[in-house]
Structure 1
Amino acid sequence: MSTHPANGRTYPASTAAGQTSVAMIARQAIVNGQQVVVGYELFNRSRTETSHTAASDVILIFNALSHAGTEELVGKKLIFVNCTHESLSGGHLELLDPDKVVLEIPPLGHAAADEVQARLPILSGLRERGFHLAFNHTVLQSTYAPWLPLADYIKLDLSVLAADQLAVLISYAGRHSQAELIAEKVETAQQYDMVSTQGVQLFQGYWFARPALVEAKLLTPAQSSIIQLINLVRQQASTDEIEEVLKKDAGLAFNLMRLINSAGFGLNREITSFRQAVMLMGLKKLFRWAALLLTASRTSGAPSSVGQTAVVRGRLMELLALETLPPDEADQAFVVGIFSLLDVMLSIPMESAIGLLNVPETAAAALLRREGFLGDLLTLAEACESSDDAVFHRAAGTLHLTSQQINLAHLQALAWADQLTED
């Protein structure tokens, strides 16, 4: 167990482990000549991954964008992701802001011209959608001539290319493409000097930064909830029905809000409610996201007791808020309630947890300091769980709620949450 000194909250490892999945992601900086980071290449370092497959591409991108930790994994920098040709037509790419992502396209081995030509429509389509494409130096061979105009970046591997080869390739790329060149596996000052004097302006390798491991935590939703969401979307269910599923699974809700507010999603405004998220994402993208989440999911069954408590809190606070607020504003009460145990579920301080979601200031004040109307509601919900009569009556008086109103709402919230194990 560990206790955070700022709030005294204890994070039991056993509880957190039941709520999170952990992926190990390595990131290595790509820098310019001034050693300013322009992007990060991501590598899947999870022990469960034994080979590079289309599925591992999906999981890597998902983990990067839904990453839950005390620091941003990539921030607003470019994300360089190694791809398989099988994954390039995957629906998970629909979820990304193309301007933030560089897809590293592998060569085809001993490719024939017709194979290269056959892949061209997919690559051209990705480029037209705004994705950046990176290739290794083989794209400069005559066989790959159809791909060369699509290259935004060409990587030159200094571990396999001799100095005279590099000079020829750099010169040829400068004359026949618009691509920026990246010298990778730069390990010495001499290598850096050699390629930089020939016009290479981007660099990657141990000379600048070794790959750094980042432990990416994800709240793991129940697979049954994900499947239920997928079925509703396929049936073109109403926003209300979809919102109900999100409200019943803290992991599902967290992952959606985290993803839609990430830089990789490309929205210019903050999304603060599930209804907003569903409406802005639309059914097509929501289906893609749910399918992607199912791919990354490793566990099944109902949420743990902590997740269940969060759901009850959210519903109780929403029902009490509806006594005085319109439905749209009452939804904020639900968001505060369901995210009020994120610090326990993620084993990180609450301030770090809510920083991942960019919650509104009123919600942050409630979660961190129990301030404002939402803070009073949360205090009341916690008092209902702990049977603290003094705090209960004080909070009820502040909110002008009767014991009868609160007890009825609490029973309704408990019954509503119990449906999780019955659905």
Structure 2
Amino acid sequence: MGERELFIGRQPILDRKQRIVGFELLFRAGDHQHADITDYLQACASVINEALTEFGMQGLLGRHKGYINMVTPLLMSESVELLPREQVVIELIESVPLYDQDVVQRCQELKAKGFTLALDDHCFDAGLESFYPLVDVIKIDVLNKGRDDLRQVVESFSRWSVTLVAEKVETEEQFQTCRDLGFDLFQGYYFARPVVLRKNSLEPGEAIILKLIKQVLADDDISHIEETFRRHPNLTYNLLRLVNSVGVGVRQKISSVRHAITVLGREQLLRWLQLAIYASRDVRGSQNPLLEIAAMRGRLMELLEQGRAGNTPGLQADSAFMAGVLSLLDVLFRVPMTELAEGLNLSDEIHLALLDRKGELGTLLALVERLEQYDFSSASDLVQKLGISNERLLAAEVEAIKWSSRLIE
């Protein structure tokens, strides 16, 4: 891949039950936050090339669908047909001339070959009524649209069997409005943004998980940890199911808490406890999107810390994983992070990272957050500050995506 500074962007797409069903994929050079059309063509081509040759589409998406931006020259080329049609959605950006007969014919060909077509940031156009039957998905920028405008959008496309995606959803309220009006899918990290915090009491299961985390961190006797589990059979079942589903490289299934501690060790048990918090929060269980994002953050931070020159492997990498996984607890519980961090008796470095994004772990956490937000310019600065090579970052991102995807399968 040479010396290019290339970043992977993945923005989640959720269904009406707020489960992740896909990602929009974006590759962008660190010094081109807003690229011109020539750069955009190269970026679109990079998505296909990197996804197929460097990483593998399965590695970037796991079990999810991948939405890939397409400019006209790339749409008309044979390269697009290399993509796995069962896993990708070809997303035509606004600059693609939909009235052009060559474009129409090309879309007909791709549709006949089994590809899924989407229109990005689209506004209803009565002159395209003959084109809409070719389209499976239509993305609508909802950021600056009122409720009446959105209702009209939904009504305009109701004659066609299309999936409507609300794009640039930034708040829970926007999600609720768009869902009520009839949108099918929702794109953005709105579900991972801190909301107006209110003093919520923790559910019993969540309080017990936090207690167990404290016990493991304090190196409490195994009998005490087992006793905590025995008093909560449902928690024991959910935790063991989570551990067994991941596999973690052991040949035998984990059958008890003591077995889990013996085979996995306390460090691994601590990891699953951290992840179990997200799975226990609501009826979605392991389909809670915060679980996948938190797992991705933790694993990516761990891999990057392991690969940094001069670092002692082990303890610091474990701390990086913990900081990443715990970084969304305030969003999950709607409780200030200061309160949650104090209750867990975390190390000073993790505490500083979670509260202020300071220190080495804080900088790592800031980096993974910038990647989530498509803020590649800031990510480039942080990569240089941390002394991480671009090749190492890309490899770590792909490995973290694979790991977090397996977690929820």
TM-score, with structure 1 as normaliser: 0.42
TM-score, with structure 2 as normaliser: 0.43
Structure with larger Rg: 1
